[in-house]
A = this chain, B = another copy of it.
């Protein structure tokens, strides 16, 4: 059996590894910039994120080696009798480590984290082209009940 995946909060030192994982992806490749040094916008975003107690950027590790990343945001709202929800974004498994069930361990951990925070729901959107991802999340109990709509601003 695979050693367990542990999740920890990312530090500023992890930004390079996280951006590399975001870029190492069919859709992410054209969206990210992996120059050295990285564009300052990544660090500015990290600093803003780290100041927000409802927003956690996570590193998944096996035996101290980085194998994945994920962001989870906790959102209070009045809907559903004042339910808190968790939003999952930017899930990636490092390419060397794909196909080993690591993504499943990451998402199961995220669900437990949401439960501990008192969330009534976990939600995410997944690009319509990522059919494997939809089957993956449905296997973990997610229901494809909504359309995910995006507006890009200039």
Contact = CB atoms under 8 A, between A and B. Distances in A.
Contact of A146 (B57, B87, B138, B148): B148
Contact of A82 (B39, B80, B125, B148): B39
Q: Is the interface of A mostly helix, strand, loop or mixed?
A: mixed
Interface in A99-154: 111, 114-115, 119-128, 134, 137-138, 140-153
Interface stretch (A1-9, A26-34, A60-68): A26-34
Copies of the chain in the assembly: 2
Interface in A15-34: 15, 18-19, 22, 28, 31-33
B114 A78 contact: no
A41 B123 contact: no
Interface residues of A, number: 66
Contacts of A44: 82
Interface in A54-86: 54-55, 57, 71, 73, 75-84
Contacts of A31: 79-81
- The 6 residue pairs across chains A and B that have the minimum distance between CB atoms: A146-B148, A45-B82, A41-B82, A125-B146, A142-B149, A148-B148
Interface of A: 15, 18-19, 22, 28, 31-33, 39, 41-46, 48-49, 52, 54-55, 57, 71, 73, 75-84, 87, 89-90, 111, 114-115, 119-128, 134, 137-138, 140-153
